[in-house]
């Protein structure tokens, strides 16, 4: 689904390896893992014996040998096609794994010891906790966190993105991934994973299928298919004496053909391929899923917890407007706002200078450059400058500036509160500006909601997913942003423990919860959520706690990942519906064919007007075989997904895959019958 990855369905190399693996998978030790197809393989062995020894089970009709051979060939092809479906899915994953393995060269690592000495060793010899120095042009030997230095890192080998990203020590963006390349400068890194346990290793294992465990839904469906198979086996076993009582001589090969056509072979042959393909789609979307269960859980998500900054909004709050208090001119507010921000290198500070100089191009700010810059701190929640004549210019949070002015015996303008509230209601951040003990006005910093999110949240609402925004903003700002973005709820002044509490509350109501995060303080909530998507640029703690990691570090990707999970479940359900509906047509093909010679009244059920009993049975069997490879592209790419309510989705699938699953075999079997009947006459069947 990612544009960065090759989405070609099948290449020559994949086709070649899939054909070879289709034969390798014929080993009964492997086939028994798929009970439905194992029954088909057992049927194949029995019909082969009947072809060689026609009388082995007491059947005395010698002219059945050729018929048994034909049945054997069709059963063999059926098993082969089922194996081919799984082999293609695995082949696509292994091809992707080979691409990833190219990043795992025999990399050298420059290890730095406690005494400051350095040594070049193989990356495979590194241990968790080792410190390495990586210079420009060198490959980062394993996952780790930057402890010193700042550098651009080229992650294109893993993410497909050509633009390097900046990595530096401290904060939530110090994490680096093994296999990426330092594009400039240098980094000192502490290794956080042992060889063979990096995220790249996990990604390779997942796409190769080595670590893929069957998901709970897959196990449940597999149990259903086994139950149906056992039921039909019992039906076939009891059918034989009933037929004998009616003086109907049913060849064992026909009973086997009937069994194969009645049991859910279509979905049985595609079930494993659907699961592997679901993992493949997530991985191609640059997301590492730690298990198939995580992907499947995405499809069951009921509630999504989303951070505001960086997910719903861009997070770069920029100056939008200057609002002076009564008695202060806009020019005066702009002048001192710009002065307080001249040495402020934050995006907010730069935007204030840019907006101010744009609105007043005659502004003289030269005299402020020699002032002493006062940096922002979490304690004061304000910044500014001190001029040489003792004038103190400050900008910061409203409550902090109000407290600061009061301490200097200044007065608070009557209209300040309204201005601050107006900005908050608009979803912005109000910065109050003061000179000594006088408040001049408010700077409106606007945090823009990302385009398209309203429509995407509406899509999620259509499929019954509730969205909750978490933000550290005050309730007024939070409510405005929530309304503008179209989320269903919000948590204002949110702390890390509030996220955990929100997740637990939803889970207590039986809901499946998803959330994103990148910081160490997000780790507990990521671990608590059913689906935790951590950013690759985030801390190791966050990535270890989550069950998915986004290599592109795009917080909004959780929306697409949930839709991929939904698509996986819908694809599985649709093909299961189609498979079971297929059986209805096969009943009308085979049952009349078996009994209509002895019981002419059964002819009324031969609504397809199939030529002969043998032609009817073989036509149904051939259709049963060829429908499996015909559905492989759908299983690989997934059923086209459109957000809608569960009721509408069920109705649509029943109409398309239920009704279509009934009609298609009627048409297919009739066409096959018209083709093979003349051939059967030629060879004497």
**d(C-alpha 257, C-alpha 44), whole Å:** 10
User: 341 a known binding residue?
Assistant: no
Structure tokens given for 10: 């099948």
User: 380 a known binding residue?
Assistant: yes
User: 16 a known binding residue?
Assistant: no
**d(C-alpha 269, C-alpha 474), whole Å:** 55
- Centroid of chain to Cα 504: 23
Q: Which of 331, 308, 354, 389 is nearest to 555 (CA)?
A: 308
User: 376 a known binding residue?
Assistant: yes
- Sheet architecture: strand order including 429-435: 318-324, 438-446, 429-435, 392-396, 382-386, 372-374
As to burial, measured by CB atoms within 10 angstroms (0-12 exposed, 13-18 middle, 19+ buried), residue 163 is exposed
**End-to-end distance of the chain based on CA atoms, in angstroms?**
49
**Could you tell me how many helices (H) and strands (E) the chain has, helices first?**
23, 22
DSSP string, 635-663: HHH--------HHHHHHHHIIIIIIHHHH
User: 377 a known binding residue?
Assistant: yes
User: 514 a known binding residue?
Assistant: no
Q: Three-state DSSP class for 219? A: helix
Q: Which H or E element spans position 622?
A: helix 613-637
Q: Which of 377, 435, 382 is nearest to 405 (CA)?
A: 435
For 338, phi then psi, to 5°, come to -65, -45
**d(C-alpha 268, C-alpha 396), whole Å:** 64
**d(C-alpha 316, C-alpha 154), whole Å:** 24
DSSP state of 102: T
- Asked if 519 contacts 495 with a C-beta cutoff of 8 angstroms, the reply is no
User: 348 a known binding residue?
Assistant: yes
User: 395 a known binding residue?
Assistant: yes
Length of the chain: 685
Structure tokens given for 20: 């070879």
* b (16+ CB within 10 A) / e for 225-234: bbebbeebee
Is 115 an active-site residue?
A: no
From the list 307, 447, 554, 673, the catalytic residue is 307
Angle at 194 between CA 207 and CA 186, to 5 degrees: 100
- Asked if 610 contacts 672 with a C-beta cutoff of 8 angstroms, the reply is no
DSSP state of 472: S
**d(C-alpha 665, C-alpha 662), whole Å:** 6
User: 382 a known binding residue?
Assistant: yes
Known binding-site residue numbers for Mg(2+): 518, 522
Known binding-site residue numbers: 344, 348, 376-383, 395, 518, 522
Q: Which residues are designated catalytic? A: 307
């Amino acid at each position: 689904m990612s544009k960065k990855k090759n989405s070609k369905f099948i290449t020559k190399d994949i086709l070649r390896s899939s054909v070879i693996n289709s034969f390798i998978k014929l080993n009964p030790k492997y086939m028994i893992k798929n009970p439905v197809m194992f029954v088909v393989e057992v049927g194949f062995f029995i019909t082969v014996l009947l072809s060689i020894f026609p009388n082995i089970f007491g059947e005395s009709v010698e002219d059945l040998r050729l018929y048994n051979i034909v049945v054997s060939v069709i059963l063999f092809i059926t098993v082969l096609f089922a194996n081919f479906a799984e082999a293609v899915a695995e082949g696509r994953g292994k091809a992707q794994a080979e691409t990833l393995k190219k990043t795992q060269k025999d990399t050298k690592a420059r290890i730095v010891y406690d005494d400051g000495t350095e040594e070049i060793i193989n990356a495979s010899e590194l241990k968790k906790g080792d410190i390495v120095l990586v210079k420009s042009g060198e490959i980062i030997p394993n996952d780790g966190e930057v402890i010193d230095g700042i550098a651009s890192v080229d992650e294109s080998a893993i993410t497909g993105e050509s633009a390097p990203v900046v990595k530096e020590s401290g904060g939530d963006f110090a994490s680096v991934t093994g296999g990426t390349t330092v594009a400039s400068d240098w980094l000192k890194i502490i290794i956080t994973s042992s060889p063979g346990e990096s995220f790249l290793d996990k990604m390779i294992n997942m796409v190769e299928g080595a670590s893929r465990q069957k998901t709970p839904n897959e196990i449940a469906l597999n149990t259903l298919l086994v139950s149906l198979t056992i039921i039909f086996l019992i039906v076939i076993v009891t059918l034989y004496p009933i037929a004998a009582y009616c003086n109907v001589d049913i060849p064992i090969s026909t009973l086997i053909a009937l069994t194969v056509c009645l049991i859910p072979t279509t979905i049985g042959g595609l079930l494993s391929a659907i699961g592997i393909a679901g993992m493949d789609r997530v991985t191609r979307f640059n997301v590492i899923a730690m298990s198939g269960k995580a992907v499947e859980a995405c499809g069951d998500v009921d509630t999504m917890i989303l951070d505001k900054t960086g997910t719903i909004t861009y997070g770069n709050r920029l100056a939008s407007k200057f609002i002076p208090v009564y008695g202060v001119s806009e020019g005066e507010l702009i002048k001192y706002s710009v002065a307080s921000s001249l040495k402020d290198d934050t995006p907010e500070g730069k935007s204030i200078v840019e907006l101010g100089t744009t609105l007043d191009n005659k502004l003289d700010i030269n005299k402020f450059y020699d002032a002493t810059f006062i940096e922002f701190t979490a304690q004061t929640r304000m910044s500014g400058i001190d001029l040489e004549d003792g004038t103190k210019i400050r900008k910061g949070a409203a409550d902090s500036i109000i407290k600061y002015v009061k301490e200097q015996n200044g007065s608070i303008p009557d209209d300040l509160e309204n201005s601050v509230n107006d900005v908050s209601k608009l979803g912005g951040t109000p910065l109050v500006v003061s000179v000594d003990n006088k408040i001049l006005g408010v700077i409106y910093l606007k945090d823009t909601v990302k385009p398209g999110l309203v429509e995407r949240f509406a899509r999620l609402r259509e499929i019954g997913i509730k969205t909750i925004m978490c933000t550290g903003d005050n309730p007024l700002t939070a409510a405005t942003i929530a309304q503008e973005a179209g989320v269903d709820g919000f948590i204002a002044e949110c702390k890390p423990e509030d996220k955990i509490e929100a997740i637990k509350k939803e889970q207590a109501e039986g809901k499946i919860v998803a959330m994103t995060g990148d910081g160490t303080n997000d780790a507990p909530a990521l671990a608590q959520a059913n689906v935790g998507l951590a950013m690759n640029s985030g801390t190791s703690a966050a990535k270890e706690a989550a069950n998915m990691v986004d290599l592109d570090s795009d917080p909004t990707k959780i929306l697409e990942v949930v839709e991929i999970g939904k698509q996986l479940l819908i694809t599985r359900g649709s093909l299961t519906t189609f498979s079971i509906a297929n059986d209805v047509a096969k009943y009308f093909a085979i049952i009349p064919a078996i009994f209509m010679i002895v019981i002419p009244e059964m002819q009324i059920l031969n609504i397809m007007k199939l030529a002969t009993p043998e032609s009817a049975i073989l036509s149904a069997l051939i259709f049963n075989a060829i429908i499996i490879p015909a559905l492989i592209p759908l299983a690989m790419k997934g059923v086209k997904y459109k957000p809608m309510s569960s009721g509408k989705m069920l109705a649509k699938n029943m109409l398309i895959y239920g009704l279509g699953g009934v009609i298609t075999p009627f048409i297919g079997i009739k066409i096959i019958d018209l083709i093979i009947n003349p051939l059967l006459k030629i060879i004497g069947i």
